[in-house]
Structure 1
Amino acid sequence: MLASAVPATDKRRALRSQLASGELTVLPGAFNVLSAQAIARAGAHGVYVSGHMIAADMGLPDIGLTTLSEVAQRASQIARMVDVPVIVDADTGFGEPANTARSIQLLEDAGVAGCHIEDQINPKRCGHSAGVEVVDAELALRRIRGAVLGRRDPDFVIIARTDARAAVGLDAAIERAQAFVAAGADVVFPEALRSLEEYRRFREAVDVPLMINLNEFGGRVPLTQAEVRDLGYQLAVYPMTLMRLAMGAVADGIRHLLDAGSQHALMGRMQTRDALYELLDYDGHARFDQQVIDG
Protein backbone atom coordinates (compact mmCIF):
# COMPACT_ATOMS: atom_id res chain seq x y z
CA MET A 1 0.00 0.00 0.00
CA LEU A 2 2.61 2.57 1.05
CA ALA A 3 5.23 0.73 -1.01
CA SER A 4 5.77 -2.58 -2.76
CA ALA A 5 6.01 -5.54 -0.40
CA VAL A 6 8.17 -7.47 -2.88
CA PRO A 7 11.87 -7.39 -1.88
CA ALA A 8 14.34 -6.07 -4.45
CA THR A 9 16.12 -9.42 -4.48
CA ASP A 10 12.91 -11.15 -5.55
CA LYS A 11 12.41 -8.67 -8.37
CA ARG A 12 15.96 -9.28 -9.59
CA ARG A 13 15.41 -13.02 -9.55
CA ALA A 14 12.16 -12.53 -11.45
CA LEU A 15 14.01 -10.56 -14.14
CA ARG A 16 16.70 -13.22 -14.39
CA SER A 17 14.03 -15.90 -14.67
CA GLN A 18 12.33 -13.98 -17.47
CA LEU A 19 15.60 -13.62 -19.35
CA ALA A 20 16.47 -17.30 -18.86
CA SER A 21 13.09 -18.35 -20.25
CA GLY A 22 14.11 -17.20 -23.73
CA GLU A 23 10.80 -15.40 -24.13
CA LEU A 24 10.63 -11.71 -25.02
CA THR A 25 10.27 -9.43 -21.98
CA VAL A 26 8.72 -6.06 -22.91
CA LEU A 27 9.39 -3.10 -20.63
CA PRO A 28 7.45 0.11 -21.31
CA GLY A 29 9.25 3.25 -20.17
CA ALA A 30 7.84 5.11 -17.18
CA PHE A 31 8.13 8.88 -16.97
CA ASN A 32 7.08 9.11 -13.31
CA VAL A 33 5.91 6.88 -10.47
CA LEU A 34 2.26 7.02 -11.50
CA SER A 35 3.01 5.86 -15.04
CA ALA A 36 5.16 3.05 -13.60
CA GLN A 37 2.23 1.94 -11.46
CA ALA A 38 0.00 1.98 -14.54
CA ILE A 39 2.54 -0.14 -16.43
CA ALA A 40 2.67 -2.69 -13.62
CA ARG A 41 -1.12 -2.67 -13.23
CA ALA A 42 -1.51 -3.39 -16.95
CA GLY A 43 0.44 -6.63 -16.53
CA ALA A 44 3.86 -5.75 -17.95
CA HIS A 45 6.72 -7.89 -16.67
CA GLY A 46 8.75 -4.82 -15.73
CA VAL A 47 9.38 -1.11 -16.06
CA TYR A 48 12.14 0.73 -17.89
CA VAL A 49 13.50 4.10 -16.73
CA SER A 50 15.24 5.93 -19.55
CA GLY A 51 18.04 8.44 -19.04
CA HIS A 52 16.55 10.46 -21.90
CA MET A 53 13.24 10.50 -20.02
CA ILE A 54 14.82 11.63 -16.73
CA ALA A 55 16.69 14.41 -18.51
CA ALA A 56 13.62 15.52 -20.48
CA ASP A 57 11.48 15.53 -17.34
CA MET A 58 14.04 17.93 -15.82
CA GLY A 59 13.89 20.14 -18.93
CA LEU A 60 17.31 18.98 -20.13
CA PRO A 61 18.59 17.39 -23.35
CA ASP A 62 19.99 13.87 -23.21
CA ILE A 63 23.67 14.86 -23.25
CA GLY A 64 24.92 13.55 -19.91
CA LEU A 65 23.79 16.46 -17.74
CA THR A 66 21.95 14.40 -15.13
CA THR A 67 23.84 13.16 -12.08
CA LEU A 68 24.03 9.77 -10.40
CA SER A 69 22.09 11.02 -7.39
CA GLU A 70 19.28 12.35 -9.61
CA VAL A 71 19.04 9.08 -11.54
CA ALA A 72 19.21 6.95 -8.39
CA GLN A 73 16.52 9.04 -6.70
CA ARG A 74 14.11 8.72 -9.62
CA ALA A 75 14.83 5.01 -9.94
CA SER A 76 14.25 4.51 -6.22
CA GLN A 77 10.95 6.41 -6.29
CA ILE A 78 9.70 4.14 -9.07
CA ALA A 79 11.14 0.83 -7.85
CA ARG A 80 9.73 1.13 -4.34
CA MET A 81 6.16 1.50 -5.64
CA VAL A 82 5.89 -1.41 -8.10
CA ASP A 83 6.03 -5.17 -7.63
CA VAL A 84 7.81 -5.79 -10.95
CA PRO A 85 11.49 -5.42 -11.87
CA VAL A 86 12.79 -1.98 -12.85
CA ILE A 87 15.72 -1.44 -15.21
CA VAL A 88 17.35 1.99 -15.30
CA ASP A 89 19.64 3.70 -17.78
CA ALA A 90 22.92 4.50 -16.00
CA ASP A 91 24.49 6.29 -18.99
CA THR A 92 28.29 5.94 -18.96
CA GLY A 93 28.46 4.95 -15.29
CA PHE A 94 28.93 8.57 -14.15
CA GLY A 95 32.71 8.66 -14.24
CA GLU A 96 35.72 6.37 -14.10
CA PRO A 97 35.43 2.61 -13.44
CA ALA A 98 35.44 3.18 -9.66
CA ASN A 99 32.55 5.62 -10.13
CA THR A 100 30.77 2.96 -12.17
CA ALA A 101 31.19 0.48 -9.30
CA ARG A 102 29.70 3.02 -6.90
CA SER A 103 26.86 3.69 -9.33
CA ILE A 104 25.98 -0.01 -9.32
CA GLN A 105 25.90 -0.05 -5.53
CA LEU A 106 23.71 3.04 -5.27
CA LEU A 107 21.31 1.58 -7.82
CA GLU A 108 21.23 -1.66 -5.86
CA ASP A 109 20.33 0.43 -2.81
CA ALA A 110 17.63 2.12 -4.90
CA GLY A 111 15.94 -1.26 -5.35
CA VAL A 112 16.19 -1.59 -9.10
CA ALA A 113 16.71 -4.97 -10.75
CA GLY A 114 19.39 -3.93 -13.19
CA CYS A 115 20.92 -1.15 -15.25
CA HIS A 116 22.85 -0.58 -18.43
CA ILE A 117 26.25 1.05 -18.83
CA GLU A 118 27.33 2.38 -22.23
CA ASP A 119 30.62 3.01 -24.01
CA GLN A 120 30.05 6.58 -25.20
CA ILE A 121 32.41 9.43 -24.37
CA ASN A 122 31.44 12.13 -21.89
CA PRO A 123 29.41 14.18 -22.53
CA LYS A 124 27.26 11.50 -24.16
CA ARG A 125 24.45 11.88 -26.69
CA CYS A 126 21.16 10.16 -27.30
CA GLY A 127 22.11 6.93 -29.05
CA HIS A 128 20.02 7.77 -32.12
CA SER A 129 21.57 11.23 -32.58
CA ALA A 130 24.19 12.18 -35.13
CA GLY A 131 27.77 12.48 -33.95
CA VAL A 132 27.85 9.68 -31.37
CA GLU A 133 31.41 8.93 -30.22
CA VAL A 134 32.68 6.05 -28.10
CA VAL A 135 35.66 5.62 -25.81
CA ASP A 136 38.40 3.20 -26.80
CA ALA A 137 37.68 -0.49 -26.36
CA GLU A 138 39.87 -0.92 -23.28
CA LEU A 139 38.21 1.90 -21.32
CA ALA A 140 34.79 0.59 -22.34
CA LEU A 141 35.78 -2.82 -21.01
CA ARG A 142 37.07 -1.34 -17.74
CA ARG A 143 33.66 0.28 -17.17
CA ILE A 144 31.97 -3.11 -17.36
CA ARG A 145 34.63 -4.72 -15.18
CA GLY A 146 34.08 -1.96 -12.63
CA ALA A 147 30.34 -2.56 -12.70
CA VAL A 148 30.75 -6.32 -12.23
CA LEU A 149 33.28 -5.92 -9.40
CA GLY A 150 31.10 -3.31 -7.71
CA ARG A 151 28.01 -5.51 -7.69
CA ARG A 152 27.14 -6.91 -4.25
CA ASP A 153 23.92 -8.74 -5.12
CA PRO A 154 24.79 -11.41 -7.70
CA ASP A 155 21.20 -11.25 -9.01
CA PHE A 156 21.53 -7.57 -9.99
CA VAL A 157 21.49 -7.59 -13.81
CA ILE A 158 24.33 -5.73 -15.52
CA ILE A 159 23.58 -4.77 -19.11
CA ALA A 160 26.48 -3.68 -21.31
CA ARG A 161 25.36 -1.23 -23.95
CA THR A 162 27.51 -0.45 -26.97
CA ASP A 163 26.99 2.52 -29.26
CA ALA A 164 29.99 1.49 -31.34
CA ARG A 165 27.95 0.66 -34.47
CA ALA A 166 27.42 4.33 -35.28
CA ALA A 167 30.97 5.37 -34.37
CA VAL A 168 33.31 2.58 -35.47
CA GLY A 169 31.20 -0.02 -37.25
CA LEU A 170 29.32 -3.25 -36.68
CA ASP A 171 32.33 -5.57 -36.43
CA ALA A 172 33.88 -3.42 -33.71
CA ALA A 173 30.56 -3.32 -31.86
CA ILE A 174 30.36 -7.12 -31.91
CA GLU A 175 33.96 -7.43 -30.69
CA ARG A 176 33.18 -5.09 -27.79
CA ALA A 177 30.04 -7.02 -26.93
CA GLN A 178 31.94 -10.29 -26.79
CA ALA A 179 34.55 -8.71 -24.50
CA PHE A 180 31.80 -7.34 -22.24
CA VAL A 181 30.33 -10.83 -21.90
CA ALA A 182 33.74 -12.26 -21.03
CA ALA A 183 34.02 -9.55 -18.35
CA GLY A 184 30.75 -10.65 -16.73
CA ALA A 185 27.96 -8.68 -18.39
CA ASP A 186 24.62 -10.50 -18.13
CA VAL A 187 22.94 -8.85 -21.12
CA VAL A 188 24.23 -6.92 -24.14
CA PHE A 189 22.39 -3.92 -25.58
CA PRO A 190 23.56 -3.06 -29.14
CA GLU A 191 22.22 0.42 -29.74
CA ALA A 192 21.14 1.89 -33.08
CA LEU A 193 21.78 -1.04 -35.40
CA ARG A 194 20.68 -0.26 -38.93
CA SER A 195 18.95 -3.36 -40.33
CA LEU A 196 17.39 -6.69 -39.49
CA GLU A 197 20.52 -8.34 -40.85
CA GLU A 198 22.70 -6.45 -38.37
CA TYR A 199 20.46 -7.53 -35.50
CA ARG A 200 20.72 -11.12 -36.76
CA ARG A 201 24.52 -10.92 -36.91
CA PHE A 202 24.64 -9.67 -33.35
CA ARG A 203 22.39 -12.52 -32.22
CA GLU A 204 24.60 -15.08 -33.90
CA ALA A 205 27.80 -13.61 -32.42
CA VAL A 206 26.83 -12.96 -28.80
CA ASP A 207 25.79 -15.77 -26.47
CA VAL A 208 23.83 -13.93 -23.76
CA PRO A 209 20.38 -12.32 -23.73
CA LEU A 210 20.17 -9.26 -25.96
CA MET A 211 18.25 -6.03 -25.42
CA ILE A 212 16.70 -3.86 -28.11
CA ASN A 213 15.47 -0.27 -28.12
CA LEU A 214 12.10 0.17 -29.87
CA ASN A 215 12.46 3.93 -29.95
CA GLU A 216 10.31 6.12 -32.19
CA PHE A 217 11.92 8.72 -34.45
CA GLY A 218 15.29 6.98 -34.38
CA GLY A 219 15.89 7.18 -38.13
CA ARG A 220 14.02 3.97 -39.01
CA VAL A 221 10.59 2.46 -38.38
CA PRO A 222 10.65 0.67 -35.00
CA LEU A 223 10.61 -3.10 -35.17
CA THR A 224 7.48 -4.87 -34.01
CA GLN A 225 7.55 -7.24 -31.06
CA ALA A 226 6.93 -10.12 -33.46
CA GLU A 227 10.05 -9.16 -35.41
CA VAL A 228 12.05 -8.91 -32.18
CA ARG A 229 10.90 -12.39 -31.14
CA ASP A 230 11.90 -13.78 -34.51
CA LEU A 231 15.37 -12.26 -34.07
CA GLY A 232 15.77 -14.06 -30.74
CA TYR A 233 16.17 -10.99 -28.53
CA GLN A 234 15.00 -11.34 -24.92
CA LEU A 235 14.47 -7.75 -23.76
CA ALA A 236 12.69 -4.88 -25.52
CA VAL A 237 12.16 -1.37 -24.16
CA TYR A 238 10.02 1.58 -25.19
CA PRO A 239 12.01 4.41 -23.59
CA MET A 240 10.00 7.52 -24.48
CA THR A 241 6.72 6.22 -25.94
CA LEU A 242 4.49 6.99 -22.96
CA MET A 243 6.09 10.37 -22.27
CA ARG A 244 5.64 11.35 -25.92
CA LEU A 245 2.00 10.27 -25.83
CA ALA A 246 1.45 12.22 -22.62
CA MET A 247 3.23 15.36 -23.81
CA GLY A 248 1.33 15.26 -27.09
CA ALA A 249 -1.90 15.27 -25.11
CA VAL A 250 -0.58 18.03 -22.84
CA ALA A 251 0.29 20.26 -25.81
CA ASP A 252 -3.15 19.68 -27.34
CA GLY A 253 -4.83 20.36 -24.00
CA ILE A 254 -2.99 23.62 -23.41
CA ARG A 255 -3.89 24.86 -26.88
CA HIS A 256 -7.55 23.94 -26.34
CA LEU A 257 -7.73 25.66 -22.93
CA LEU A 258 -6.28 28.86 -24.36
CA ASP A 259 -8.44 28.82 -27.47
CA ALA A 260 -11.76 27.47 -26.15
CA GLY A 261 -11.71 28.94 -22.66
CA SER A 262 -12.88 25.70 -21.04
CA GLN A 263 -11.82 22.11 -20.52
CA HIS A 264 -15.34 20.78 -21.11
CA ALA A 265 -14.58 19.21 -24.49
CA LEU A 266 -11.45 17.55 -23.08
CA MET A 267 -13.00 15.74 -20.15
CA GLY A 268 -13.86 12.60 -22.10
CA ARG A 269 -10.15 12.16 -22.88
CA MET A 270 -9.02 12.48 -19.26
CA GLN A 271 -8.27 9.80 -16.73
CA THR A 272 -11.28 9.87 -14.41
CA ARG A 273 -11.01 10.64 -10.72
CA ASP A 274 -12.14 7.10 -9.88
CA ALA A 275 -9.49 5.57 -12.13
CA LEU A 276 -6.80 7.74 -10.54
CA TYR A 277 -7.97 6.91 -7.03
CA GLU A 278 -7.94 3.20 -7.85
CA LEU A 279 -4.40 3.42 -9.22
CA LEU A 280 -3.28 5.31 -6.10
CA ASP A 281 -5.10 2.79 -3.86
CA TYR A 282 -7.08 5.32 -1.87
CA ASP A 283 -9.12 2.47 -0.37
CA GLY A 284 -5.96 0.75 0.86
CA HIS A 285 -4.77 3.91 2.56
CA ALA A 286 -8.19 4.34 4.17
CA ARG A 287 -8.03 0.78 5.51
CA PHE A 288 -4.55 1.48 6.88
CA ASP A 289 -5.77 4.59 8.68
CA GLN A 290 -8.68 2.65 10.14
CA GLN A 291 -6.37 -0.10 11.39
CA VAL A 292 -4.26 2.54 13.12
CA ILE A 293 -7.37 4.01 14.76
CA ASP A 294 -8.74 0.59 15.78
CA GLY A 295 -5.40 -0.54 17.18
Structure 2
Amino acid sequence: MAREHIQVLRKMLQSDRGVILPGAPNALAARVVADLGFSAVYLTGAGLTNTLLGLPDLGFLDLSQVTEHTMAIRGVVDLPLVVDADTGFGNALNVSHTVRALERAGASAVQLEDQCAPKRCGHFDGKELIVADEMVSKIKAAVDSRREDVVVIARTDACAVEGFEAAIERAGRYIDAGADMTFVEAPNSLEELKEIPKRLRAPQLLNIVLGGKTPIVDRKSCEDMGYSFVLYANAALQGMLLGMRTALRTLREKGVLDERDSCIASFAERQRLVGKEEFDEMARSYAHLSIT
Protein backbone atom coordinates (compact mmCIF):
# COMPACT_ATOMS: atom_id res chain seq x y z
CA MET A 1 0.00 0.00 0.00
CA ALA A 2 1.30 3.43 -0.92
CA ARG A 3 2.27 5.52 2.10
CA GLU A 4 2.07 9.01 0.60
CA HIS A 5 -0.78 9.83 2.98
CA ILE A 6 1.67 9.73 5.91
CA GLN A 7 4.01 12.21 4.28
CA VAL A 8 1.06 14.44 3.35
CA LEU A 9 0.06 14.48 7.01
CA ARG A 10 3.60 15.26 8.13
CA LYS A 11 3.77 18.21 5.74
CA MET A 12 0.48 19.47 7.13
CA LEU A 13 1.89 19.35 10.65
CA GLN A 14 4.94 21.34 9.56
CA SER A 15 3.14 24.14 7.77
CA ASP A 16 -0.63 24.25 8.36
CA ARG A 17 -2.64 25.75 11.20
CA GLY A 18 -6.34 25.56 12.03
CA VAL A 19 -7.04 22.51 9.86
CA ILE A 20 -10.53 21.17 10.58
CA LEU A 21 -10.32 17.43 11.26
CA PRO A 22 -13.78 15.83 11.04
CA GLY A 23 -14.42 12.54 12.78
CA ALA A 24 -15.90 9.57 10.95
CA PRO A 25 -17.40 6.59 12.79
CA ASN A 26 -17.36 4.43 9.65
CA ALA A 27 -16.29 4.29 6.02
CA LEU A 28 -19.46 5.89 4.65
CA ALA A 29 -18.96 8.92 6.89
CA ALA A 30 -15.32 9.06 5.75
CA ARG A 31 -16.54 9.18 2.13
CA VAL A 32 -18.73 12.17 3.01
CA VAL A 33 -15.75 13.90 4.66
CA ALA A 34 -13.68 13.39 1.51
CA ASP A 35 -16.56 14.36 -0.78
CA LEU A 36 -16.91 17.70 1.00
CA GLY A 37 -13.25 18.54 0.44
CA PHE A 38 -11.74 18.23 3.91
CA SER A 39 -7.99 17.67 4.10
CA ALA A 40 -7.93 14.74 6.55
CA VAL A 41 -10.24 12.40 8.45
CA TYR A 42 -10.30 10.99 11.99
CA LEU A 43 -11.54 7.53 12.95
CA THR A 44 -13.31 8.32 16.20
CA GLY A 45 -13.24 5.72 18.96
CA ALA A 46 -16.29 7.19 20.64
CA GLY A 47 -18.21 7.30 17.37
CA LEU A 48 -17.18 3.76 16.45
CA THR A 49 -18.27 2.52 19.87
CA ASN A 50 -21.61 4.32 19.58
CA THR A 51 -22.39 3.17 16.03
CA LEU A 52 -20.90 -0.34 15.98
CA LEU A 53 -21.87 -1.44 19.49
CA GLY A 54 -24.58 1.01 20.49
CA LEU A 55 -22.66 1.64 23.71
CA PRO A 56 -21.08 4.68 25.42
CA ASP A 57 -17.38 5.46 25.11
CA LEU A 58 -16.21 3.44 28.11
CA GLY A 59 -13.46 1.26 26.65
CA PHE A 60 -15.51 -1.45 24.95
CA LEU A 61 -13.61 -1.51 21.63
CA ASP A 62 -10.78 -3.93 20.87
CA LEU A 63 -7.89 -3.66 18.43
CA SER A 64 -9.44 -5.96 15.83
CA GLN A 65 -12.51 -3.72 15.54
CA VAL A 66 -10.43 -0.56 15.17
CA THR A 67 -8.13 -2.25 12.65
CA GLU A 68 -11.06 -3.49 10.57
CA HIS A 69 -12.58 -0.02 10.35
CA THR A 70 -9.20 1.55 9.59
CA MET A 71 -8.87 -0.82 6.64
CA ALA A 72 -12.41 -0.04 5.49
CA ILE A 73 -11.82 3.71 5.53
CA ARG A 74 -8.42 3.41 3.85
CA GLY A 75 -10.08 1.31 1.15
CA VAL A 76 -12.38 4.15 0.09
CA VAL A 77 -10.54 7.42 0.82
CA ASP A 78 -7.00 8.62 0.13
CA LEU A 79 -6.99 11.35 2.78
CA PRO A 80 -4.58 11.27 5.72
CA LEU A 81 -6.29 9.15 8.37
CA VAL A 82 -5.81 9.76 12.09
CA VAL A 83 -6.86 6.72 14.14
CA ASP A 84 -8.00 6.91 17.75
CA ALA A 85 -6.36 3.90 19.42
CA ASP A 86 -7.53 4.70 22.95
CA THR A 87 -4.90 3.48 25.44
CA GLY A 88 -3.15 1.28 22.89
CA PHE A 89 -5.01 -1.74 24.29
CA GLY A 90 -2.53 -2.55 27.03
CA ASN A 91 1.05 -1.92 28.08
CA ALA A 92 4.06 -0.92 25.98
CA LEU A 93 4.23 -4.35 24.33
CA ASN A 94 0.57 -4.10 23.33
CA VAL A 95 1.15 -0.58 22.03
CA SER A 96 3.93 -1.90 19.79
CA HIS A 97 1.53 -4.43 18.30
CA THR A 98 -1.24 -1.84 18.00
CA VAL A 99 0.92 0.63 16.09
CA ARG A 100 2.14 -1.99 13.63
CA ALA A 101 -1.36 -3.35 13.06
CA LEU A 102 -2.89 0.07 12.43
CA GLU A 103 0.02 1.18 10.27
CA ARG A 104 -0.45 -1.89 8.07
CA ALA A 105 -4.19 -1.20 7.95
CA GLY A 106 -3.60 2.28 6.51
CA ALA A 107 -3.42 4.70 9.44
CA SER A 108 -1.47 7.89 8.85
CA ALA A 109 -1.38 8.68 12.57
CA VAL A 110 -2.08 6.71 15.72
CA GLN A 111 -3.43 8.53 18.78
CA LEU A 112 -2.69 7.13 22.25
CA GLU A 113 -3.91 8.40 25.62
CA ASP A 114 -2.72 8.19 29.21
CA GLN A 115 -5.88 6.93 30.90
CA CYS A 116 -6.14 3.73 32.87
CA ALA A 117 -8.06 0.92 31.21
CA PRO A 118 -10.95 0.85 30.74
CA LYS A 119 -10.75 4.39 29.42
CA ARG A 120 -13.59 6.90 29.39
CA CYS A 121 -14.63 9.63 26.99
CA GLY A 122 -12.40 12.63 27.60
CA HIS A 123 -15.41 14.73 28.55
CA PHE A 124 -16.85 12.24 31.05
CA ASP A 125 -16.23 12.52 34.78
CA GLY A 126 -14.37 9.84 36.74
CA LYS A 127 -11.26 9.45 34.57
CA GLU A 128 -8.10 7.89 36.01
CA LEU A 129 -4.55 8.14 34.65
CA ILE A 130 -1.61 5.81 34.43
CA VAL A 131 1.62 7.23 35.85
CA ALA A 132 3.50 9.48 33.45
CA ASP A 133 6.51 7.13 33.34
CA GLU A 134 4.32 4.33 32.01
CA MET A 135 2.90 6.55 29.28
CA VAL A 136 6.42 7.65 28.34
CA SER A 137 7.30 3.98 27.86
CA LYS A 138 4.23 3.46 25.70
CA ILE A 139 5.12 6.45 23.52
CA LYS A 140 8.67 5.17 23.11
CA ALA A 141 7.32 1.74 22.15
CA ALA A 142 5.03 3.34 19.56
CA VAL A 143 7.87 5.35 18.03
CA ASP A 144 10.26 2.38 17.98
CA SER A 145 7.70 0.01 16.46
CA ARG A 146 6.54 1.98 13.45
CA ARG A 147 7.79 0.84 10.06
CA GLU A 148 6.44 3.56 7.75
CA ASP A 149 6.97 6.66 9.92
CA VAL A 150 3.32 6.79 11.01
CA VAL A 151 2.65 9.91 13.10
CA VAL A 152 2.37 9.31 16.86
CA ILE A 153 -0.10 11.56 18.70
CA ALA A 154 0.01 11.54 22.50
CA ARG A 155 -3.12 12.61 24.34
CA THR A 156 -3.20 13.51 28.02
CA ASP A 157 -6.37 13.62 30.10
CA ALA A 158 -4.56 15.18 33.06
CA CYS A 159 -6.50 18.48 32.99
CA ALA A 160 -9.51 16.86 34.63
CA VAL A 161 -7.52 14.66 37.01
CA GLU A 162 -4.32 16.46 38.03
CA GLY A 163 -4.87 19.99 36.74
CA PHE A 164 -3.70 22.11 33.82
CA GLU A 165 -0.06 22.45 34.87
CA ALA A 166 0.26 18.69 35.25
CA ALA A 167 -1.22 18.25 31.78
CA ILE A 168 1.38 20.59 30.29
CA GLU A 169 4.15 18.75 32.11
CA ARG A 170 2.92 15.37 30.93
CA ALA A 171 2.56 16.54 27.32
CA GLY A 172 6.10 17.91 27.42
CA ARG A 173 7.42 14.57 28.61
CA TYR A 174 5.54 12.77 25.84
CA ILE A 175 7.15 15.07 23.28
CA ASP A 176 10.55 14.26 24.78
CA ALA A 177 9.68 10.56 24.39
CA GLY A 178 9.17 11.07 20.65
CA ALA A 179 5.51 12.01 20.14
CA ASP A 180 5.07 14.01 16.93
CA MET A 181 1.99 15.84 18.19
CA THR A 182 0.24 16.23 21.53
CA PHE A 183 -3.41 16.57 22.43
CA VAL A 184 -4.27 18.13 25.78
CA GLU A 185 -7.82 16.95 26.34
CA ALA A 186 -10.62 18.98 27.93
CA PRO A 187 -9.06 22.35 28.82
CA ASN A 188 -11.73 24.35 30.61
CA SER A 189 -11.05 27.99 29.68
CA LEU A 190 -10.01 30.21 26.81
CA GLU A 191 -6.89 31.15 28.78
CA GLU A 192 -5.83 27.50 28.91
CA LEU A 193 -6.52 27.09 25.21
CA LYS A 194 -4.18 29.97 24.43
CA GLU A 195 -1.41 28.66 26.68
CA ILE A 196 -1.15 25.15 25.26
CA PRO A 197 0.47 25.94 21.87
CA LYS A 198 2.73 28.55 23.51
CA ARG A 199 4.16 26.14 26.07
CA LEU A 200 4.52 22.95 24.03
CA ARG A 201 6.99 22.81 21.17
CA ALA A 202 5.26 20.09 19.11
CA PRO A 203 2.20 20.60 16.88
CA GLN A 204 -1.04 20.65 18.86
CA LEU A 205 -4.52 19.22 18.35
CA LEU A 206 -7.58 20.86 19.91
CA ASN A 207 -10.67 18.71 20.44
CA ILE A 208 -13.97 20.57 20.12
CA VAL A 209 -16.67 18.41 21.72
CA LEU A 210 -20.19 19.66 21.07
CA GLY A 211 -21.74 19.73 24.53
CA GLY A 212 -18.38 19.03 26.19
CA LYS A 213 -16.15 20.82 28.68
CA THR A 214 -13.93 22.85 26.32
CA PRO A 215 -14.99 26.32 25.12
CA ILE A 216 -16.19 26.45 21.51
CA VAL A 217 -13.90 28.60 19.37
CA ASP A 218 -13.92 29.11 15.62
CA ARG A 219 -11.32 27.86 13.16
CA LYS A 220 -9.64 31.25 12.68
CA SER A 221 -9.18 31.67 16.44
CA CYS A 222 -7.62 28.19 16.62
CA GLU A 223 -5.29 29.08 13.77
CA ASP A 224 -4.27 32.32 15.50
CA MET A 225 -3.60 30.46 18.75
CA GLY A 226 -1.30 28.07 16.88
CA TYR A 227 -3.24 24.80 16.78
CA SER A 228 -2.42 22.57 13.83
CA PHE A 229 -5.64 20.51 13.94
CA VAL A 230 -9.11 21.35 15.20
CA LEU A 231 -10.87 18.06 15.84
CA TYR A 232 -14.64 17.69 15.60
CA ALA A 233 -14.65 13.99 16.41
CA ASN A 234 -18.39 13.40 16.54
CA ALA A 235 -20.05 16.31 14.75
CA ALA A 236 -20.94 13.99 11.85
CA LEU A 237 -22.32 11.38 14.24
CA GLN A 238 -24.50 13.90 16.06
CA GLY A 239 -25.74 15.15 12.69
CA MET A 240 -26.47 11.56 11.63
CA LEU A 241 -28.49 10.97 14.79
CA LEU A 242 -30.61 14.04 14.15
CA GLY A 243 -31.10 13.08 10.50
CA MET A 244 -32.14 9.51 11.34
CA ARG A 245 -34.57 10.66 14.01
CA THR A 246 -36.06 13.28 11.70
CA ALA A 247 -36.56 10.85 8.82
CA LEU A 248 -37.99 8.09 10.97
CA ARG A 249 -40.25 10.45 12.90
CA THR A 250 -41.61 11.69 9.59
CA LEU A 251 -42.23 8.11 8.48
CA ARG A 252 -43.99 7.25 11.74
CA GLU A 253 -46.20 10.34 11.64
CA LYS A 254 -47.07 10.28 7.91
CA GLY A 255 -47.05 6.54 7.36
CA VAL A 256 -45.13 7.03 4.10
CA LEU A 257 -41.83 8.50 2.96
CA ASP A 258 -40.38 9.27 -0.47
CA GLU A 259 -37.61 11.32 -2.06
CA ARG A 260 -39.75 14.44 -2.15
CA ASP A 261 -39.40 14.69 1.62
CA SER A 262 -36.61 17.09 2.52
CA CYS A 263 -35.44 14.96 5.43
CA ILE A 264 -33.69 12.32 3.33
CA ALA A 265 -30.96 12.14 0.70
CA SER A 266 -31.93 10.72 -2.66
CA PHE A 267 -31.32 7.16 -3.80
CA ALA A 268 -29.04 8.52 -6.52
CA GLU A 269 -26.99 10.50 -4.00
CA ARG A 270 -26.52 7.42 -1.83
CA GLN A 271 -25.24 5.44 -4.82
CA ARG A 272 -22.93 8.28 -5.87
CA LEU A 273 -21.34 8.46 -2.42
CA VAL A 274 -20.54 4.75 -2.34
CA GLY A 275 -19.04 4.83 -5.85
CA LYS A 276 -21.56 2.57 -7.60
CA GLU A 277 -20.81 4.04 -11.03
CA GLU A 278 -17.17 2.95 -10.71
CA PHE A 279 -18.29 -0.63 -10.19
CA ASP A 280 -20.75 -0.38 -13.07
CA GLU A 281 -17.92 0.76 -15.34
CA MET A 282 -15.76 -2.09 -14.14
CA ALA A 283 -18.53 -4.58 -14.84
CA ARG A 284 -18.96 -3.18 -18.36
CA SER A 285 -15.23 -3.41 -19.03
CA TYR A 286 -15.22 -7.11 -18.20
CA ALA A 287 -18.55 -7.98 -19.79
CA HIS A 288 -17.08 -8.86 -23.20
CA LEU A 289 -14.54 -11.28 -21.75
CA SER A 290 -15.36 -14.96 -21.72
CA ILE A 291 -13.97 -17.56 -19.36
CA THR A 292 -12.42 -20.55 -21.12
Deviations 1:160-208 (Å, cap 9, x if unpaired)? Answer: 0000111001111111111111111000000001112112222111111
4+ runs deviating over 6 angstroms: none
Give, in angstroms, the shift of residue 260 of structure 1. 2.1
1:251-270 to 2 correspondence within 5 Å?
251-264=245-258, 267-270=261-264
Distance in 1 (CA, whole Å) between partners of 2:283 and 2:25 is 29
Matched residue SS, 2:147:
coil
Q: What is the match of residue 171 of structure 1? A: 165
Q: CA 1:118–1:8 in 2, change beyond 3 Å: closer, same or farther?
A: farther
2:187–2:214: 8 Å Cα contact kept in structure 1?
no
| 1:220 Cα offset (Å) | 4.5
In the TM superposition, 1:99-110 aligns within 5 A as 99-110=94-105
Please give the secondary structure, in 1, of the residue aligned with 2:126: coil
Q: Secondary structure at the match of 2:24?
A: coil
Distance 2:103 2:170 in 1: 25
Matched, 1:132 2:133: no
Aligned to 1:3: none
Q: Please say if residues 19 and 25 of structure 1, whose CA atoms lie closer than 8 Å, have aligned partners that are also in contact.
A: no
Match of 1:149 in 2: 144
Note if 1:90 corresponds to 2:85: yes
- What is the Cα deviation at residue 20 of structure 1? 0.8
Q: Is it true that 1:274 corresponds to 2:281 in the alignment?
A: no
The question of whether the paired residues in 1 share the 8 Å contact of 2:49 and 2:55 is answered with yes
277-286 or 114-123: bigger deviation: 277-286
The CA RMSD over aligned residues, in Å, is 1.5
Counterparts of 2:217 and 2:46 in 1: how far apart (Å)? 20
Match of 2:156 among 148, 153, 162: 162
Determine whether 1:56 maps to 2:72: no
1:283 equivalenced with 2:272 (yes/no)? no
Instruction: Give 1:65's match in structure 2, choosing from 51, 60, 63.
Output: 60
Maintained 8 Å contact 2:247/2:263: no
1:204-283 matches, within 5 Å, as 204-264=198-258, 267-283=261-277
Structure 2: gaps of 5 or more residues: none
- What is the CA–CA distance in structure 2 between the aligned matches of 1:250 and 1:22, rounded to whole Å? 35
> C-alpha distance in 1, partners of 2:282/2:255?
41
Letter in 1 for 2:10: R
Matched, 1:78 2:87: no
Contact conserved, 2:188 with 2:215, CA < 8 A, in 1?
no
Distance in 2 separating the partners of 1:165 and 1:221:
14
Q: Where in structure 1 are there 5+ consecutive unaligned residues?
A: 1-6
1:104-123 pair list within 5 angstroms: 104-123=99-118
Partner of 2:192: 198
| Amino acid in the other structure paired with 1:190 | V
SS state of the match for residue 18, structure 1?
Answer: helix
Q: Which moved more, 1:250-259 or 1:36-45?
A: 250-259
Q: How far apart in 1 are the matches of 2:127 and 2:179?
A: 22
TM-score (norm 1): 0.93
1:4 maps to none
Q: Give the TM-score of the pair, scaled to structure 2.
A: 0.94
CA contact (8 A) 1:8 1:113 kept: no
Q: Tell me, what secondary structure is at the counterpart of 1:269? A: coil
